Amino acid sequence: MYRYDEFDAAFVRDRVAQFSAQVQRRLAGALTEDEFKPLRLQNGVYLQLHAYMLRIAIPYGTLSARQLRQLALIGERFDRSYGHFTTRQNLQFNWIQLKDVPEILSLLADVEMHAIQTSGNCIRNVTADQFAGVAADEIEDPRPVAELIRQWSTAHPEFSFLPRKFKIAVTGAAEDRAAVAVHDIGLRIVRHPETGETGYAVLVGGGLGRTPMVGKWVREFLPKPHLLAYLEALMRVYNAEGRRDNKYKARVKILVHEIGIEAFRARVEAEFARLDPSRIQADAEEVARIARYFAAPAYADLPDNPPAFRRARAANPEFDRWAAQNGFPHKVPGYQAVTLSLKGIGEAPGDISSAGMRLVADLADRYSFGEIRVTHAQNLVLPDVRQDELFDLWQALAAGGLATANAGLITDIIACPGLDYCALATARSIPIAQALARRFASPERQQEIGPLAIKISGCINACGHHHVGHIGILGLEKRGEESYQITLGGDAGNASAIGEILGPGLGAEDVPDAIERLVAVYLAHRQPGELFVESVRRLGIEPFKTAFNAEIHHDAA
Amino acid sequence: MSTAKLQPLPAILIANDLLTGDTVFFAGNGWTRHPGEALMAEDQAASLRLGEAGQEAMRLNQVVDAYLVDVDLSAGGIPVPRHFRERFRLLGPTIRPDLGKQAEFPGLAAQAGRTR
């Protein structure tokens, strides 16, 4: 993975010193809260319901064992011995004291981490496919370009005060696991249909929040050396024309929607034509330097699906289930990527204790070249595990409570922190996720239902990605109570779609039964091999709506 | 008659401590972490005085984000906010009874009338 050079290290240390001084001035009363707030937000410090929250950047979701151990230490020393992984592949600590932030940032800098670009109206931490570099369906590893964009965008003087925050996601695989179509910019590494050269397909104007939109193609093939110039042109058009009069209409998706994708594209292309890509793109030498950090580790020459692996699976049904459900095809024979679910039944999605972090770090060192990935679905991944060592890994994970075999299933629920922590939330999210996980806890039942993504947000800002859940749940306030709006048919993948609202909001206690009714429609009508979301597409929303509303009307009668 | 919106009563003053971020309540002679010690305003004049105390504490950089919250006094003697958001703030995360004030002050959740 990427290692800081002397400039990166000095930059991060300078920022720690700068913010430490700002904290001291705030505590001494030299800065008012109005003056201090934008400064703390630029360093990932939020004020939540019970305490300050610190959001730490995990660029494109890649972590080293050493970094994860440091996060465990920070959790123990300054928080409540746990952290929360977010849908943006970051980590949040919920119980931070302002006076401790300088020391925490210094500890982060020790392991080449920081909290820059985790807040504010800048280009945020770039996200990527969690299986980058190892996925069997990958055209090219997206991490080098994600890192290039990170370096280009960090403290970019022109793009540090945009109309609103700006999120970029990258994937290099055939299947989109990074939800690129619901980002301000989504980049897909693609092959040119004629030359075979790799470049980027560029989507713009996707996003969730109160105005959910699927991104539109602004460039179907962008040659690699043009990337930063093209991004600069696009950002410049947005920076100049994006609305600043209304924060709810300030994202680039609104601009694209208001002027239309053709007009937007024309403006970007006109701006791009004025630029000289060779002066903006990083030197080929620097691009190559970055890429070298992502070179494949020293894989052993192994047979695929070796006898020991097959025997362990045959002898242990629980291991077999985990290997099948949480395993992911690796591009190298004899290896597998595996998802470590942070969705144990009844747990808070994305939460992990400091002890759990240490266990994962140790297992990453032992079994996966010391590397860990964070997924936007709030799980962890060990990307490079030998199949013949998978059983040993599974046993160690099971002992630490990290071997739940539910990746991609109905209990692998995304949930934002919601009103248990978040000052913006209008309702709780985590208790809904817990109730649903308990309702569908049976492993056999989960297998029978198959892949189904439930995503829960505790407010309209949609950190829990509810719009793109196969089933989405949005927590709102209705007449002084928490109320949950259910949507159906959203999709964060290649067939990106925004879910449709099924009916009136429900009380928390009614949500599990309502989801049961939706699942029942699917089980009754699915064709052989058809996934939940495919059935929704084929059947349309109506049969689900009918089942959903039947019971509600009955209750009301 | 003033056209200013009347503060629903009774009310307490809630804020975050600047240094720690902890939820704190105005006790009349300073700030307290225990909601049972919060000063309750029973009339508009008292609620105005509470509001002014909040402004002053923010000006003095003692607390952040101070505002009034309307409450009911529980049978256990705790001023319990009428809105669920502020109730969660009073006690801590509903999903982690081992954290927040509900853990720090034994008996608080029961006194405040939380059943779960």
Q: What is the mean pLDDT of each successive set of 10 residues along chain A, which is 557 residues long?
A: 93 98 96 96 97 98 98 98 98 97 98 96 97 97 98 96 97 98 98 97 97 98 97 98 96 98 98 96 94 96 98 98 98 98 97 98 98 98 98 98 98 98 98 98 98 98 98 97 98 97 97 98 98 98 96 51
Parallel, antiparallel or unpaired: strands A168-171 and A185-191: parallel
**Per-residue confidence (pLDDT) for residue A554, from 0 to 100:** 45
- The domain made up of A307-399 has a fold known as Sulfite Reductase Hemoprotein; domain 2 (3.90.480)
Report how many Cβ contacts below 8 Å link chain A to chain B: 70
Task: Name the architecture of domain A6-110.
Answer: Alpha-Beta Complex (3.90)
Please check the confidence at residue B54 and state whether its pLDDT lies above 80. Answer: yes
Superfamily of domain A134-292: Sulfite Reductase Hemoprotein, domain 1 (3.30.413.10)
**Per-residue confidence (pLDDT) for residue B53, from 0 to 100:** 98
Packing angle of the helix pair A143-153, A227-241 (nearest 10 deg): 50
Residue at B4 is within a domain: no
**Amino acid residing at B112:** A
Mutate to test the interface with B, among A23, A35, A40, A49 (most CBs of B within 10 A): A49
- The domain made up of A414-556 has a fold known as Sulfite Reductase Hemoprotein; domain 1 (3.30.413)
Indicate if ipTM > 0.85: yes
Write out the residues of chain A at the interface with chain B, using a CB-CB cutoff of 8 A. Answer: 26-27, 29, 32-33, 47-52, 80, 95-99, 348, 419-421, 425, 428, 430-431, 434, 480-482
**Per-residue confidence (pLDDT) for residue B2, from 0 to 100:** 53
**Residue A139, token pair as written in the block:** 């055209």
**Per-residue confidence (pLDDT) for residue A408, from 0 to 100:** 98
Q: d(Cα A103, Cα A54) in Å, to the nearest integer? A: 12
Contact A97 B93 (CB under 8 A): no
CA distance A332 to chain B (A): 42
Domain boundaries, chain A: 6-110, 134-292, 307-399, 414-556
**How far is CA A331 from each of CA A140, B76, B93, rounded to the nearest angstrom?**
11, 63, 43
Residue at B83 is within a domain: yes
Q: d(Cα A402, Cα A404) in Å, to the nearest integer? A: 6
**Residue A385, token pair as written in the block:** 């595990």
**Amino acid residing at A296:** A
- Do the domains A6-110 and A307-399 sit in the same CATH topology, yes or no? yes
The minimal CB distance from A419 to the residues B60, B88, B100 is found for: B88
- Alpha carbon A130 to chain centroid distance? 9
Residue at B115 is within a domain: no
Sheet holding A52-56, edge to edge: A45-47, A52-56, A91-96, A82-85, A351-353
The minimal CB distance from B64 to the residues A47, A50, A481 is found for: A47
> What residues of chain A lie within 8 A of the CB of B96, using their CB?
348, 420
Residue at B101 is within a domain: yes
Number of domains in chain B: 1
**Per-residue confidence (pLDDT) for residue A97, from 0 to 100:** 97
Mutate to test the interface with A, among B18, B59, B105 (most CBs of A within 10 A): B18
Contact B61 A26 (CB under 8 A): yes
**Residue A156, token pair as written in the block:** 């970019």
Whether pTM > 0.95 for this model: the answer is yes
**Per-residue confidence (pLDDT) for residue A551, from 0 to 100:** 73
Within chain B, where are the H helices?
A: 44-59, 84-91, 101-104, 108-111
**Per-residue confidence (pLDDT) for residue A148, from 0 to 100:** 97
Q: How buried is residue B89: exposed, middle or buried, by Cβ count under 10 Å (0-12/13-18/19+)? A: buried
Q: What mean pLDDT comes out for the span B80-90?
A: 97
Instruction: Provide the domain limits for residue B49.
Output: 11-109
**Per-residue confidence (pLDDT) for residue B114, from 0 to 100:** 72
pLDDT over 70 percentage in chain A? 99
